[in-house]
Structure 1
């Protein structure tokens, strides 16, 4: 099937009488309510549930094995190959399925706030609430841009179409397939809206480095003086919380590019975790959840008031809203080169310092490692904290080999003299179950000190196992909190836990065979 025939078949679908193009937010909400896809909450947000899939399905994500990209992709468990024949067969079936629907929703959007690097995209949805989600998460064209918009990638999402693994060549009823040659993402069998967002991020992680732009799974903000900060971290480390700072301006909460002119948001909205959300701790996020926003899998009380502490459906409750609903956001979401990079980790072993300064080589080591902890009780069979490593803090979304992204980061740190810090938002005074979670007030003070340059001239001590440079003082933080070993009553237990975690770092890093010894030696030693 040629690219032309793909376009012809899709054009035929998009010209059908059942297609609704670029509906405004109000009409998409109305359609979702009419079709019983969701209900309105007391805040005005639309709440939808996603059935048995309350998160991504990485085992069902594929890239079509095509000649033009075959030698570039880092094939494996993350980037699973699938044949052109399987993709073409499913493509025809999904289009035929959508032709039978009473109404299908299409919107034109962009990925990339910097117009020099933005990708025009089109999203085709079986569900109205999915189209609302896409409209709020991606960058919305104005009336003039809509007239000239020509999609370079199309996402087709049909949750109601379920694959037959025996006939369709998939592992399950669910599939998320990217074809770079056909410039199409095909999604079926899952109602989880995050697949739409993350499929485009995966595509940008392929496209941008090819244009010498570093794509990053991070949040970003900027101060009044133009000083830019990046926050990298896996789920639960505080990336969204710490970047939504009322004293700074939000560039974006999740996905960014770093070009020769500076950083830019890949999206036009935010996709925040809602678990234990309160107005007191996160007012910007809490107050952004209003009409036009989408809540995923959040439980409601009898008055339809969201209960953010209720995990009946999942701990992965989410809110999607346009970035404009954050009072101090930057529009358009572009800024200059970063001055500071913060790597966030929630260390449940309780042995990493609450804040430490990294050399460039250490920054590349910890960027490649992407460490945090999986806690006991979060998954069946997990009875004690487990070290979790996600390459470049975004392994599920990286089509290219990890060293490509790490090398680009190292070059940019050198070029722009960026200060890099590792911040532990996890446990202090003992491991999970013994110690306590790091005080958020202290963490905010440490991050603020890093951003204001208050730690540049502070004396540091070098951790004997991890080699990290730990400040001896920080405004607003007791000195004894800064040295992790001093917060443990049992110093021998600390040493044992530190060595245990260090060995896990070393074991994980063995998979990077193309990394220089200088970077490899920047990791823990004992």
Structure 2
């Protein structure tokens, strides 16, 4: 008996009569409302709830251990292997499950705004609202697009299918599995739509470096003179706030590639956090939440239809998914030249890192690999004082390849294009969290602007004795007194102790990296 290929089974599913292909945004919203999947807010956005899963399930993510990738993947807790036959059986069960649904929704799109490196995508969903999410987050094809989709990566999302770990080889009812040889992302047991977005980012983080393109978890914008800036930073560091500049055009807010042509957005939309959202603080996101936008787990007033962005009763991870077109100063296509400036953002709750410092190439690679910020007391159960947290390359959960691969590519590109790299601390000054004060946002903006305009290239600097960072002694629009962190503490002995504590955290974290040169290791704290 001849075995039917997975791609043939997939094609048969996509060709069934109940599959609605490439529906317009308005029709998907109508479908979602008729099926009771969500409701409209007063702004016209579609509000949905994702049930038990209001965020990603990193422990349920797998990569199929296939011959062509098994010696390249950085296997471990992030990239868990699953055998090919286990994946095949589960895929076939999911396809049969979806085939029994009265309606399915499918569409085509791309990941990657640079046509030389873009990845064709197909997405099939059982929920209309998740198809709407995919249409807004991925790059939408135009009428002129004639590219073949024969080699597309296909996302198959079946939230209502619950795995049986004892039978299906998963760790729970939920699974997110990538097969690079079959070019399939299989998702089940979770309604959280962000799994689709981040799975494709993980795919691109494997495929792009194979084409000598650095994939990056960062935002990017471009000035009127064509000067490009990248902003790396974990949650709470100000990446979205500082990259949203009315005097610069947005390339993208989260995922980018850096090729020999320059920088390009991987996505066609934004997936913005909504917690404590206000029109005053983040007007671009506020104004983007309108008809066509998906609001995830935002509480809506039953009588008025008003979203309550301060209500965290469902989750603190409330989200809005909208197309780049909703941002007035976004550029299309979303690509630009090579970066002039890279900003690493950290919210240091220890209060010991400088508000801005210039990095050598080796320091840039060290801090890129470290991906440091702080967790604050009260943000998670059991945290009673600030804790250092590190996420490799500012995107550890999405990196299939060894970290050194991405860091080496960054170092090469910094050299090749003479890029200025800065570490900007948006955290605390004058003492740690609870003693000192949060960095003045206007000062931070002035420092970022000075960095982008090249005003810090020739400014005299001093070297921090513990972290080795080059601290400018002057910065336009910023008092000199705030630039050197030790001088802002009333108890300088306490500063020294706290700085030594953070330096030790950096060094301990860096022990996990293999095959890192001594020059990069030496670029860390002393």
TM interval, shorter chain, is over 0.9
- Once residues 28 and 333 of structure 1 are traced to their aligned partners in structure 2, the CA distance between those partners, rounded to angstroms, is 25
Superposed displacement of residue 101, structure 1:
1.0
What is the CA–CA distance in structure 1 between the aligned matches of 2:494 and 2:33, rounded to whole Å?
56
Cα distance in 1 for partners of 2:283, 2:236 equals 18
1:495 aligns with 2:485: no
What is the rounded CA distance, in whole Å, between the counterparts of 1:464 and 1:2 in structure 2? 69
Q: Tell me, yes or no, if the aligned pair for 1:47 and 1:297 is still in contact at 8 Å.
A: yes
Q: 2:462 maps to what in 1?
A: 461
Q: Which runs of 5+ in 1 are unaligned?
A: none
Partner of 2:441 in structure 1? 440
Aligned 8 A contact 1:346 1:372 in 2: yes
Match of 1:514 in 2: 515
Confirm whether residue 267 of structure 1 aligns to residue 249 of structure 2. Answer: no
Measure, in 1, the Cα distance between the counterparts of 2:446 and 2:428: 17
Superposed, which structure 2 residues align to 1:120-519 within 5 Å?
Answer: 120-145=120-145, 148-301=148-301, 302-519=303-520
Give the secondary structure class of the aligned counterpart of 2:5: helix
1:143 partner SS: coil
Distance change (3 Å), C-alpha of 1:323 and 1:412? same
RMSD: 1.3
Partners of 1:457 and 1:116 lie apart in 2 by 37
CA–CA separation in structure 1 for the residues paired with 2:56 and 2:384: 23
For structure 2, list consecutive stretches of 5 or more residues without a partner in the other structure: none
Name the SS for the 1:144 alignment partner: coil
Deviation at 1:150, TM superposition (A): 3.8
Q: Give, in whole Å, the separation in 2 of the partners of 1:206 and 1:39.
A: 37
Q: What is the CA deviation profile of residues 415-473 of structure 1, one whole-angstrom value per residue up to 9, with x for unaligned ones?
A: 00000000111111211122222122111111111001111111111111001111112
Q: Tell me if structure 2 keeps the 8 A contact 1:219–1:239.
A: yes
d(CA) in 2 for partners of 1:149, 1:289 = 31
What displacement does 1:513 show? 2.0
Distance in 1 between the 2:422 and 2:80 partners? 34
Alignment of 1:104-123 (within 5 A): 104-123=104-123
Does the C-alpha gap of structure 1 residues 357 and 3 become closer, same or farther in structure 2, counting only changes over 3 Å?
farther
Quote the Cα distance in structure 2 between the aligned partners of 1:164 and 1:477: 58
TM-score normalised to the size of structure 2? Answer: 0.98
Could you tell me which residue of structure 2 aligns to residue 59 of structure 1? 59
Question: Per the alignment, in what secondary structure is the counterpart of residue 261 of structure 2?
Answer: coil
Q: Assess if the C-alpha contact under 8 Å between 1:37 and 1:129 holds in 2.
A: yes
SS of the equivalent of 1:230 reads strand
Distance 1:503 1:15, change over 3 A: same
Aligned to 1:95: 95
- State the distance in 2 between where 1:149 and 1:82 align: 27
What is the count of residue pairs matched by the alignment? 525
Give CA-to-partner distance per residue, 1:32-69, whole Å, 9 cap, x none: 11111111111111111111111111000000011110
Worse-superposed segment, 307-316 or 339-348: 307-316
